[in-house]
Amino acid sequence: MLTYIPYIPEYNMGMYCKGLCTYCGGKTRLYNYIAYLVYLCRAETFLDLFAGSAVTSLNINVRNKVINDMNTKLVVVYYALSRKDTAGLVMARIKDTKYCSKIFYEAHEYWEKRKDNVLTDFSDQDICDGAYYAWILLNFSRIGSKIDSGFIDTKEQMYDFMRFQDNLISYLGRLDGALVKNESALDILENLVESQEKISDNTVIYLDPPYLPSKKRGVNSNGTYKDGKGTNVFGRESHKRMLELADKLPRDKCKVIISGYDDMYNLYDTLGGNDFGEWSKIYVKSLPVMFGDGSKLKDGKRAVEDEYFFTNFTI
């Protein structure tokens, strides 16, 4: 049995910054609750292993941040923002950009040609170009994880982009010095489980994996995410492995927060041979489904879904 916690307060730090782009599964409406847990845990190190739009990492105030995703285009933007020299250059270039198809297709072409490992093979110039073009693609199209779609030639999208340009300054400093990774979260967890001495005290790991395949919610309802390295599948087996690894982390120094829906609970509960007695299930709030099949209006209404956190500690 999990300990059920029906309520969690928000922790409003009054310093909201938007994510890097509109993103399927983005935690814009939940990061304040994550911030509360991070605050309770007195975290000094925060690992955001499925960071996506980075909205959580951008809005969490901790000394050390580790930010990871499999999507190379997102990662190169995190990387540029983590360094003072590149952050300013990329932002200045975006500030000067006009919303037009020419730039969009230039960005597309740039990324079509880049197949190499972004963090190890990119020069400083590549980081600036790669982050600039990636950010253009992410914000010239509607949904972050659907960045292969074409240029959106509407006034609404152009105004969105202009608002984004006006707010660029809010990104400054928020990922300064963060350690940026472009790996499978499962590999990172496996490494931490094997070398627990590498985990520093007061660490919080936040896991916001792709939807379970059963939830026809995401843009890729079968649990696949397109990333710079081809199609990345995070299906049932990966969820199970993630839970097993998370459960092996040392609770005294490493707190884990997992985002999920109710069906995660069943999965957690039925994990063969594992006692999840030390885990809590926290009800956060009900939110309208914004992406995928579930977002279609029924009788003029949007479906809602309950959001939960699963934690290896109690509050």
Ligand X SMILES: C[S@@+](CC[C@H](N)C(=O)[O-])C[C@H]1O[C@@H](n2cnc3c(N)ncnc32)[C@H](O)[C@@H]1O
Query: Minimum distance between the CB of residue 300 and ligand X, rounded to whole angstroms?
Result: 27
| Burial degree of 145 (CB within 10 A; 0-12, 13-18, 19+) | buried
Query: Minimum distance between the CB of residue 206 and ligand X, rounded to whole angstroms?
Result: 8
- Write phi, then psi, for 181 (nearest 5 degrees): -130, 155
Please, which residue, 185 or 245, has the CB nearer to ligand X? 185
DSSP state of 246: H
Please, which residue, 43 or 89, has the CB nearer to ligand X? 43
Radius of gyration of the chain, Cα coordinates, nearest whole angstrom? 19
Does residue 85 sit in helix, strand or coil?
A: helix
Query: Minimum distance between the CB of residue 227 and ligand X, rounded to whole angstroms?
Result: 5
Query: Minimum distance between the CB of residue 210 and ligand X, rounded to whole angstroms?
Result: 5
Instruction: Tell me the C-alpha distance between 215 and 40, whole Å.
Output: 31
Query: Minimum distance between the CB of residue 125 and ligand X, rounded to whole angstroms?
Result: 25
Could you tell me which of 173, 215, 170, 181 has the C-alpha nearest to residue 307? 215
Does residue 135 sit in helix, strand or coil?
A: helix
Instruction: Tell me the C-alpha distance between 89 and 77, whole Å.
Output: 12
Interacting residues with ligand X (CB under 6 A): 19, 23, 25-27, 49-53, 55-56, 68-71, 184-186, 208-210, 225, 227, 232, 234
Please, which residue, 89 or 138, has the CB nearer to ligand X? 138
Query: Minimum distance between the CB of residue 275 and ligand X, rounded to whole angstroms?
Result: 26
Please, which residue, 23 or 104, has the CB nearer to ligand X? 23
Query: Minimum distance between the CB of residue 149 and ligand X, rounded to whole angstroms?
Result: 16
Please, which residue, 129 or 227, has the CB nearer to ligand X? 227
Beta bridge partner(s), residue 235: none
Please, which residue, 230 or 300, has the CB nearer to ligand X? 230
DSSP state of 171: G
Please, which residue, 93 or 146, has the CB nearer to ligand X? 146
Could you tell me which of 92, 129, 125 has the C-alpha nearest to residue 110? 129
Instruction: Tell me the C-alpha distance between 167 and 46, whole Å.
Output: 25
